[in-house]
Amino acid sequence: MRLEEIPDSSGLRDKVAIVTGGGAAEQGIGNGRAAAILLAREGARVLVVDQHIELAQATVEMVTGFSGQAAAWEADVTVEADCRQMVSKAVELWGRLDVLDNNVGIGSRGSVVDESPDRWQQVMETNVTSMYLTSKYAIPAMQASGDGGSIVNVASIAALRPRGLTAYSTSKGAVIALTRAMAVDHGAAGIRVNCVAPGPVYTPMVYGRGMSHEARERRKQAAVLNTEGSGWDVGNAVCFLASDRAAYITGQVLVVDGGTTLRGPPRDTS
């Protein structure tokens, strides 16, 4: 092998990416904001999409602070027209689409007995249907660009190890199934589809709901590494899967959890 044949970059420079759920409260670093910043740092042009335009704009300001390229766009990704317009905007701004980071999601607690039908439907629409709708319009745009593309869906380790979050766990399991199905459907077009499954990461969505010091410590100790992750950890995983460094990876679930899923319940030593 000649040295010049060895890849030396992410291949993201001048690519166009959409990051949904790309805002975050104040200066906090959520999964979407981290992904948007990291993709822009690699040279991608990023459309930061959020239901709250001011949060998306705050992310854009962080990107432009280091001379990255980004624009903010307001959309509800459970609405088909919004998803279509979101993709059209990215193509209008930069002429192509290469990367989609599906980052939007909400949580829920309780069993099927506890969960109301309305809340169940809301979780499924937000966590699964949104990814179907964004991908429905992103994939043709990627095909039109002529160089394939990469879709990264954000799931959760709750899909792999359910713990009393039944609607949420079910929705994230569906995200993994959707990821694999799309990888098969669109691989021949050069479109890779992968999934990130975060564990206990400390993001604005988590601490915005309020979390006691004791609860936070329990989350840390659940991981083999005895620590918690951050939005940067998830963003780095998204950036890797979107890049040429993952050019031969598709239909896979990258678990980012500090080893939490490796650990079972405490051993009974009595």
- Residues catalogued as catalytic: 168
Cβ atoms of 21 and 105 within 8 Å: the answer is yes
What is the C-alpha to C-alpha distance for residues 105 and 14, in angstroms, rounded to an integer?
A: 28
What is the C-alpha to C-alpha distance for residues 43 and 67, in angstroms, rounded to an integer?
A: 10
Q: Is the dihedral of CA 110, 264, 224, 258 positive or negative?
A: negative
Compute CA 124 distance to the chain's CA centroid, rounded to the nearest angstrom. Answer: 16
- Using DSSP's 3-state secondary structure scheme, residue 80 falls into helix
Which of 203, 80, 100 is CA-nearest to residue 142?
A: 100
What is the C-alpha to C-alpha distance for residues 206 and 211, in angstroms, rounded to an integer?
A: 7
